[in-house]
Structure 1
């Protein structure tokens, strides 16, 4: 039970702004639990975004403004952690084919032109796709599904066999910490749940999860090839890529 409670604390404390006590212990087992429970930790964010969409529709706000408010709340509720990771990952991949130089760029924390452009384009895709879903009458289920799908891919990115790009840091703690069977189970549960999502054809919900995972897997594979594995920034980038792809599939 201590491992589970520490994993819950690590997941909630890392992925959201919800105040929780610090984990009593952090090791690879606790890290694996945390990455597996990422979708559950993000439930308050998904629920908040759904409520904002419902409120925006009820008040007659433009779909684009409602989408921006909902996704902005998710970003605020996660401290912009994943967006920052996306920008840093883009800067690293665009900076140099030299692994050490790419990692150094990602470590700096400031955003260069590649990171800023990537961030803008991905946010435009997310907001535009969600606005389309809102206009079609299924914005609430769309944003909830996409936010949760984005956190489900954390178990994929931290599955056994995926190396860490650095010997220290968040990536080193969580890399390879999730058993492959557990990662596969998370995908299966996410796909089944999305297929049963109310207000959507079963195939559209399923497509959202499949494409979300595909986008994250493509970015993950590129990072393993270029920088040697995952970092905390790569995890954030994969989350945002999955959210964007899931929303596109639904819209």
Structure 2
């Protein structure tokens, strides 16, 4: 098995899709929010995956709202954190958590790429998947609880930052040079569609925006927010490279795993210091 990152990167589609088409693609594939996908082709996928952080922003805001409301009604930070951590699952039909579980089972199977992909496609969840799910939700809830204990602002900003970063990790995984492991599915639809320069600019803009949003809480908070985005993307990149080497490319499950790992990492970094 060769490292596919060394192969010549495929050329992203030359044709362009409109911004509304891309937004509908992003919201229609990455959330349960009402969005009628008007185009399902490579140009729409390119614009859509570039708009993925916008879908993450919507998920983050909608996830933070019930947690903040509970705090304002007198609830403790743990309950607010648990609800906030659970909300993204409802807003995505649990697809990203399912992808995390399937990817963990595939990586943990120690089988050749074809057999690992078949394991990932099964509807049941194995022991590696269960462990990954429990750890991810536990870590997310624990981190959010600490942040909500500081203030509702800290918790809400963390929820939004984590959700945006999670979808940004998907954008970076859709960059040219990253192959699909299967000829069908979401992975095949979006693999290699985003130009590397666009992905890099989006990463930089997101880190700056996170810092700017946290700046009213102080310079240390702003620096921590930018660091959370960058460290989370690094964690997702390491997982991405592992999956490409292991499965010969990416799948929809891998995208879900990248989202959950990056979100969890961002929340952990935000609790430090």
Superposition TM-score, scaled by structure 2 size: 0.88
Question: Does residue 93 of structure 2 align to residue 93 of structure 1?
Answer: no
Runs of 4+ in 1 over 6 A off after TM superposition: none
Question: Does structure 2 retain, via aligned residues, the 8 Å contact 1:97–1:226?
Answer: no
**Equivalent of 1:106 in 101, 105, 120:** 120
User: 1:212 corresponds to which residue?
Assistant: 232
- CA distance in structure 1 between the partners assigned to 2:171 and 2:87 by the alignment: 24
Residue 135 of structure 2, aligned match among 121, 129, 135: 121
1:81 deviates by 1.0
Whether the 8 Å CA contact 2:236–2:262 is kept in 1: the answer is yes
Q: 1:61 aligns with which of 52, 67, 75?
A: 75
State the Cα distance separating 1:47 from its structure 2 match: 1.2
Whole-angstrom distance in 2 between the partners of 1:241 and 1:203 = 21
Q: Is the 8 A contact 2:17 2:44 kept in 1?
A: no
1:45 corresponding residue in structure 2 = 59
| 1:151 aligned residue | 167
1:107-148 Cα offsets, whole Å, 9 max, x none, are 113211110111101111111111111112211111111111
Query: What are the ranges of 5 or more consecutive residues in structure 1 without an aligned counterpart?
Result: none
How far 1:61 moved relative to its partner?
1.3
Is 1:7 aligned to residue 22 of structure 2? yes
Aligned residues: 250
Distance 2:106 2:129 in 1: 8
Q: For 1:26, which of 26, 40, 44 is the aligned residue?
A: 40
Q: Distance in 2 between matches of 1:230 and 1:223?
A: 7
Q: Which residue in 1 is equivalent to 2:204? A: 188
Q: What is aligned with 1:239?
A: 259
- TM-score scaled by length of structure 1: 0.96
Bigger mean CA deviation after superposition, 48-57 or 169-178? 48-57
- Structure 1 residue 4, shift from structure 2 partner: 2.6
Q: CA RMSD in A?
A: 1.3
The one-character-per-residue Cα deviations of 1:188-219 (angstroms, maximum 9, x if unpaired) are 11110111123252210111101110111111
